[in-house]
């Protein structure tokens, strides 16, 4: 370990705070070997503070951070996200912090201890909602699939063969939506965001049956043509065949780490760079080698 550290730029550890020090590989011990080392510690609540010693998992932090209190339907209660939102965003936060520390080292010659917390990250990811609460004292409510603005023209609607997400927020978009739905005369009645908000249930009851009468494909074509943002609610099988992702090589094939005669598809780094686009060079059991 000491030989590796002497040549390393970065160490990343995510033990419960205090554990890595007891093992003899804490920041101070490693810094003595490599003074300009960037040392990143990732934990649930941070390296210090009243909750620092507690373990944490994605779902627990979603609950504790208030994330679940603003996700779900009022009728059925809070829900957690369908993916590891805190784990993944914490990993991205840590990568950003490490990159910043490396840039700082390039400018100053100094290493740095980077302390990344899942809870801190969850709060940052909710910063628009949390800042709104801190400023106004009004907490967000469970709002289902509706926009946080609660505008009834921005929601998920059932079509005749699936679901569509419609985002008509600008007045030109709302007017175009009413016209496409065959009721242009009703727009004059709901031509202000405050009016639509006050009568949101009424607006929803006008729109929902009309969208439900036609297919998802119909709405994708017609609403896109008039400048109203719209998307199908796609499943993984559909998005896995998405031409845009294929063009950007988001999914790449590689040899199976246990069977070189098999190949598997995986998700690669989520950016494109020229030159030196990130690519996965090879896999061993428990390890992924990435070349930039």
Helix, strand or coil, per DSSP, at residue 121: helix
Catalytic residue among 87, 201, 224, 235: 87
87 included as an active-site residue: yes
Strands 10-13, 38-43: pairing kind:
parallel
Dihedral pair phi/psi, residue 129, rounded to 5°: -70, -45
- CA–CA separation, 69 vs 62, rounded Å? 9
CB burial string 163-173: b at 16+ within 10 A, e below? bbebbbbeeeb
With beta carbons less than 8 A apart as the criterion, state whether 76 and 143 touch: no
Helices vs. strands in the chain: H and E counts, helices first: 14, 12
- Give Cα 43 to chain centroid, integer Å: 19
283 DSSP β-pair partners: 288
Looking at the annotation, which residues are catalytic?
87
């Amino acid at each position: 370990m000491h030989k590796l550290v002497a040549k390393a730029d970065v160490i990343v550890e995510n033990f419960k705070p205090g554990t890595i020090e007891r093992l003899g590989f804490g920041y101070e011990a490693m810094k003595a070997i490599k003074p300009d080392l960037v040392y990143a510690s990732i934990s649930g609540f941070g390296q210090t503070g009243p909750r620092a010693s507690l373990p944490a998992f994605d779902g627990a932090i979603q609950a504790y951070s208030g994330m679940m209190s603003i996700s779900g339907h009022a009728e059925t209660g809070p829900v957690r996200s369908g993916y590891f939102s805190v784990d993944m965003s914490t990993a991205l936060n840590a990568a950003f912090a490490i990159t910043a520390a490396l840039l700082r080292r390039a400018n100053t010659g100094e290493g740095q201890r980077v302390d990344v917390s899942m809870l801190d990250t969850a709060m940052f990811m909710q910063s628009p909602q949390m800042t709104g609460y801190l400023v106004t004292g009004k907490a967000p409510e469970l709002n289902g699939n509706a926009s946080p603005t609660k505008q009834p023209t921005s929601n998920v609607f059932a079509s005749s063969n699936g679901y569509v997400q419609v985002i008509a927020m600008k007045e030109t978009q709302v007017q175009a939506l009413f016209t496409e739905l065959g009721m242009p005369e009703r727009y004059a009645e709901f031509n202000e965001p405050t009016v639509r908000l006050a009568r949101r249930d009424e607006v929803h009851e006008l729109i929902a049956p009309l969208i439900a009468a036609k297919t998802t494909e119909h709405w994708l074509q017609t609403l896109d043509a008039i400048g109203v943002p719209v998307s199908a609610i796609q499943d993984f099988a559909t998005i896995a065949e998405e031409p845009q992702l294929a063009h950007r090589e988001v999914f790449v094939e590689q040899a199976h780490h246990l069977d070189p005669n098999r190949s598997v598809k995986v998700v690669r780094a989520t950016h494109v760079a020229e030159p030196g686009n990130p690519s996965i060079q090879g896999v061993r059991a428990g390890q992924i080698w990435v070349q930039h």
